Amino acid sequence: MRSAGRPGPAPYLARLSAAQGPGGGAMMRFMLLFSRQGKLRLQKWYLATSDKEKKKMVRELMQVVLARKPKMCSFLEWRDLKVVYKRYASLYFCCAIEGQDNELITLELIHRYVELLDKYFGSVCELDIIFNFEKAYFILDEFLMGGEIQDTSKKSVLKAIEQADLLQEEDESPRSVLEEMGLA
Amino acid sequence: MPAVSKGDGMRGLAVFISDIRNCKSKEAEIKRINKELANIRSKFKGDKALDGYSKKKYVCKLLFIFLLGHDIDFGHMEAVNLLSSNRYTEKQIGYLFISVLVNSNSELIRLINNAIKNDLASRNPTFMGLALHCIANVGSREMAEAFAGEIPKILVAGDTMDSVKQSAALCLLRLYRTSPDFVPMGDWTSRVVHLLNDQHLGVVTAATSLITTLAQKNPEEFKTSVSLAVSRLSRIVTSASTDLQDYTYYFVPAPWLSVKLLRLLQCYPPPDAAVRGRLTECLETILNKAQEPPKSKKVQHSNAKNAVLFEAISLIIHHDSEPNLLVRACNQLGQFLQHRETNLRYLALESMCTLASSEFSHEAVKTHIETVINALKTERDVSVRQRAVDLLYAMCDRSNAQQIVAEMLNYLETADYSIREEIVLKVAILAEKYAVDYTWYVDTILNLIRIAGDYVSEEVWYRVIQIVINRDDVQGYAAKTVFEALQAPACHENLVKVGGYILGEFGNLIAGDPRSSPLIQFNLLHSKFHLCSVPTRALLLSTYIKFVNLFPEIKTTIQDVLRSDSQLKNADVELQQRAVEYLRLSTIASTDILATVLEEMPPFPERESSILAKLKKKKGPGTVTDLEDIKKERNSDMNGGTESTPVNASTASTPSPSADLLGLGAAPVTSSAPPPSSTGSLLVDVFSDSASVVAPLAPGSEDNFARFVCKNNGVLFENQLLQIGLKSEFRQNLGRMFIFYGNKTSTQFLNFTPTLICSDELKSNILDLTEPLDMQIAVYALITVCQMHK
């Protein structure tokens, strides 16, 4: 029987050739969120790629991940990258990392993101992410930048997001809001 | 509970999204989208200037439509306009849009860069954050050019807020990755290193990420970060779980930062003594903690803890200098190999592959071979089985090659089609590399063809033929084995190719047995003829003409076949040409000419295995070779050994003309690269007549030497690296000696130069001394010829 998707080179071999990648071998290339039906809910790319190529990669990778069975491990090889994925309810969270990246910590990075979403939305579900997609992006941006984790303190990330929300509710110029908050 | 109106609701957007979700078909969805696009287009073009809120809403809708997968070709201008708004949310949406829908219009780029510049200069940390994010998200060359000079200043300025520092560090990192030429090193680098000591762990984390990437290309600039990183790591690892508060993740202190610090340390070789001691302590603490009972049952706790552990093991492997740590790492991985959790088994197999190439731990890794073989057989997850294959390949050496190849062949029988070719290549490489007995090699390749013939690429079967041609000792066996294999009712075409070629060359070796008489061989091959593709048939035709030479008794049978219409009038030009020409050749050529034309193939020149090249190509550059190089380097001490300790084997010279017998075989030979002044411990001077000639005998070779008093051929000297053989011929007053140097290792000798030393009197007798042949990989023969008068 055929296994879904083409396997890439063994990670240790990828490690040895790691210096060739733009990230020096350790960089998150992209993150995808998609449903079991293959609907893409969020896509964040950390390396410039053409739209055509992005669509192709998304299609391929979704196929590979959706074909995996529940008991299988959370890591797989795809093209020349490592993919770390985890399913939360109806959503698959999928990160593609380079050869030298640490798989387990990426798994926890995914978990941290889910925790943030959960705290923000209050028991987050897929619908939240559909209807508030721009918020999902903002939270992700507060947490990851250029593919690297920005702040690992849950508290400070949530604080930053909540402050942004407060800013939204004020009609006055943001400058005075900041002054009120004592940030300026 | 969906918090639809969290903060600013944008009700219109929510309604639109609902509509799309309610569409029953793709066509309905497209219709709805087009309606909305038309609406937005008219609003953007309209006379009435849109207020910020509406603009924001429409831009967001466009973004949504884009993310659904439809192309958007307008809205950029409006998004850029949003950037100059003073309202945070409007700016935010504007930045999001342009980050996702990157546009290369130069006018737009100019405007965007302008907006970013303003926000960076605004001294408003939230706005600066947005701007930095946008630069990091887009990261284009234009942006790099515009801002790469500015950002380091922001990063190291004393009054920059922590959150902005974090963003600046990571933004700079992103720019460096895509446009390193725009980020020159400068004064700021030392200040960045200093950030490792910052109080705010978020800043330290961002700085560590930045330094790790920069250090790879500029190690000198950042080498002071090593000791800082070690002390930081040390503090984290020994901290109590309450110390780091926010940065403790499920009872693991600062796991992300720990992993990053360990990664930073992998950019550098092992540090000097003082720092190294601290680092070793640190690593030992991490290894110890892995053995303690877990503080929490949650998988997040163990994942975070193990993430740090695996990175620490990575560092230990990278340094490859502390045998104690390496063995402990190996043992830890060994434990994980049998863990309940699939993830850990996967990672352990992966890590062990790297460990296998370290000379300190190669043996330790081998002890787990049974576990790995078991994983290969029992793991349900194909990714894990693949790691097991990779590990077997990495841990393979002479002692376990047969076992490993057998297991891999076993696995091949049921392996996924997508990975078969890779396994075939690996088995072929291992079989050749570690073959002591080449009959085993031939069997292995034929098995490969039998099990996975479709995935046996040309390089593999070319190679087996090359090897059979080059090795006398296996030709008969190969002929016999392919003959038997061809008798299977359905054999793969690749087998017919190999069999056809080998029988064409060496069929005579088995023709004596009535079961494999020439006619039977021919009929066997010809029975497959019509089932084969054109290239195979062409090969078989060549075999037939070789048979005409080898087995004249079946010449007419073969000629009848060649003469048949299906050959002479074959639609394929190559086949037709071969049939016509071979038929003619068999008719008009005399036996001598036929024998010359169809002489046995000469040995192929040794060259680097093309199979290795193919595996390299498959895996990507610099992958497999590195492993092979690592294996070679591990053995290079052996090579070095050859060079530094002279291997002296020689026969002494004697000037006395009466000692004929000795004189004949008595050209002293020293084989060593180092200059003669190097002190070998080999000063047994048996024939001490001539003081001028250094002619010591290697210890233990006295017997060998003595043998040549009576024999012309044989082994003159042998140790575990080198074998020196002698073959001499004498005719009347001329004698000729061939001296063969055989490389017994599996790696190449470098700078191997034999020198001939003999006394002056003897020199006058030497008529001709041939330069050694060019060195090739693996076995080679050097021939020195000297002809002497009796």
B window 282-341, beta carbon within 8 A of A: 300, 303-304, 306-307, 310-311
Q: State how far residue A66 is from chain B, nearest Cα, in angstroms.
A: 14
The nearest alpha carbon in chain A to B309 belongs to A104
Q: What is the mean pLDDT of residues A99-127?
A: 92
Whether the per-residue pLDDT at A75 is higher than 50: the answer is yes
CA angle, A98 as apex, A97 and A102 as ends, to 5°?
70
CATH of the domain at A124: 3.30.450.60
Work out how many CB contacts closer than 8 A connect A with B.
Answer: 259
Model ipTM? 0.81
Nearest to A148 among B8, B209, B347 (CB): B209
pLDDT of residue A169: 64
Spell out which residues of chain A touch residue B423, defining contact as CB-CB under 8 Å: none
C-beta separation of B407 from B370 below 8 A? no
**Per-residue pLDDT tens digits for A40-59:** 999 999 988 888 899 999 99
Q: State how far residue A87 is from chain B, nearest Cα, in angstroms.
A: 14
Q: Which bin fits B251, alpha (ψ -120 to 50), beta or left (φ > 0)?
A: left
C-beta separation of A108 from B300 below 8 A? yes
Q: Do B304 and A108 touch (CB under 8 A)?
A: yes
Buried b (16+ CB within 10 A) or exposed e, B605-640: eeeebbbbebbbeebbebbbbbbbebbeeebeeebe
Query: Any chain B CB within 8 A of the CB of A138?
Result: yes
A window 65-104, beta carbon within 8 A of B: 71-77, 80, 100, 102-104
Spell out which residues of chain B touch residue A17, defining contact as CB-CB under 8 Å: 620-623, 626
Number of domains in chain A: 1
Task: Please check whether residue A96 lies inside any domain of the structure.
Answer: yes
**What is the maximum span of chain A, computed from C-alpha positions, in angstroms?**
65
The nearest alpha carbon in chain A to B126 belongs to A164
Q: Do A48 and B380 touch (CB under 8 A)?
A: no
Task: Please check whether residue A135 lies inside any domain of the structure.
Answer: yes
**What is the maximum span of chain B, computed from C-alpha positions, in angstroms?**
121
pLDDT of residue B77: 87
Task: Please check whether residue A30 lies inside any domain of the structure.
Answer: yes
* Residues whose CB falls within 8 Å of the CB of residue B74, separated by 6 or more in sequence, listed in order: B41, B44, B62
Query: Any chain A CB within 8 A of the CB of B615?
Result: no
Buried b (16+ CB within 10 A) or exposed e, B121-139: ebebbbbbbbbbbbbbbbb
Per-residue tokens: B671: 């084989």
The nearest alpha carbon in chain A to B159 belongs to A184
Task: Please check whether residue A17 lies inside any domain of the structure.
Answer: no
Cβ-defined contacts of A50-58 (< 8 Å, 24+)? A51/B71, A55/B69, A57/A30, A58/A32, A58/A34
Q: Which bin fits B245, alpha (ψ -120 to 50), beta or left (φ > 0)?
A: left
Nearest to A16 among B7, B60, B626 (CB): B626
Task: Please check whether residue A46 lies inside any domain of the structure.
Answer: yes
Task: Please check whether residue A7 lies inside any domain of the structure.
Answer: no
Per-residue tokens: B435: 């073959």
Secondary structure of residue B671 in the 3-state scheme: strand
Cα dihedral B520, B522, B528, B529 in deg (nearest 10): -160
Which H/E stretch holds residue B588? helix B573-588
Query: Any chain A CB within 8 A of the CB of B382?
Result: yes
CA angle, B611 as apex, B607 and B616 as ends, to 5°?
110
Nearest to A22 among B177, B300, B354 (CB): B177
Which H/E stretch holds residue B754? strand B754-756
B window 427-466, beta carbon within 8 A of A: none
Task: Please check whether residue A159 lies inside any domain of the structure.
Answer: yes
pLDDT of residue B360: 79
Q: Which of B609, B655, B625 is nearest to B777 (CA)?
A: B609
Query: Any chain A CB within 8 A of the CB of B8?
Result: yes
Query: Any chain B CB within 8 A of the CB of A121?
Result: yes
Spell out which residues of chain A touch residue B200, defining contact as CB-CB under 8 Å: none
Instruction: Give the residues of chain B that fall short of pLDDT 50.
Output: 1-7, 621-627, 630-695, 773-790
Q: What is the C-alpha to C-alpha distance for residues B328 and B540, in angstroms, rounded to an integer?
A: 57
Q: Do B201 and A80 touch (CB under 8 A)?
A: no
pLDDT of residue B787: 41
The nearest alpha carbon in chain B to A56 belongs to B69
Per-residue tokens: A116: 């943030």
Q: What is the C-alpha to C-alpha distance for residues B373 and B365, in angstroms, rounded to an integer?
A: 13
pLDDT of residue A164: 75
Spell out which residues of chain A touch residue B212, defining contact as CB-CB under 8 Å: 24, 26
Q: What is the C-alpha to C-alpha distance for residues B342 and A71, in angstroms, rounded to an integer?
A: 8
Q: Do B202 and A156 touch (CB under 8 A)?
A: yes
Q: Do A16 and B254 touch (CB under 8 A)?
A: no
The nearest alpha carbon in chain B to A172 belongs to B87
Spell out which residues of chain A touch residue B14, defining contact as CB-CB under 8 Å: 131
Q: What is the C-alpha to C-alpha distance for residues B116 and B150, in angstroms, rounded to an integer?
A: 12
Per-residue tokens: B697: 């005998």
Q: Which of B580, B552, B485 is nearest to B524 (CA)?
A: B485
Q: Do A16 and B623 touch (CB under 8 A)?
A: yes
The nearest alpha carbon in chain A to B19 belongs to A131
Q: Do A13 and B88 touch (CB under 8 A)?
A: no
Secondary structure of residue B647 in the 3-state scheme: strand
Q: Do B622 and A16 touch (CB under 8 A)?
A: yes
C-beta separation of B585 from B545 below 8 A? yes
Q: State how far residue A94 is from chain B, nearest Cα, in angstroms.
A: 16
Spell out which residues of chain A touch residue B166, defining contact as CB-CB under 8 Å: 145, 150-151
Which residue segment(s) compose the domain that A74 sits in?
26-170
Spell out which residues of chain B touch residue A145, defining contact as CB-CB under 8 Å: 132-133, 136, 166-167, 170-171, 174
Query: Any chain A CB within 8 A of the CB of B216?
Result: yes
Q: Do B623 and A9 touch (CB under 8 A)?
A: yes
Q: Which of B790, B687, B704 is nearest to B739 (CA)?
A: B704
Can you give the pTM of this predicted structure?
0.73
Q: What is the C-alpha to C-alpha distance for residues A44 and A64, in angstroms, rounded to an integer?
A: 19
Q: Which of B104, B108, B109, B84 is nearest to B94 (CA)?
A: B84
Eight-state DSSP code of residue B684 = B
A window 49-68, beta carbon within 8 A of B: 51, 55
C-beta separation of B648 from B613 below 8 A? no
Residue A112: what residue type? R
pLDDT of residue B603: 86
Task: Please check whether residue A85 lies inside any domain of the structure.
Answer: yes
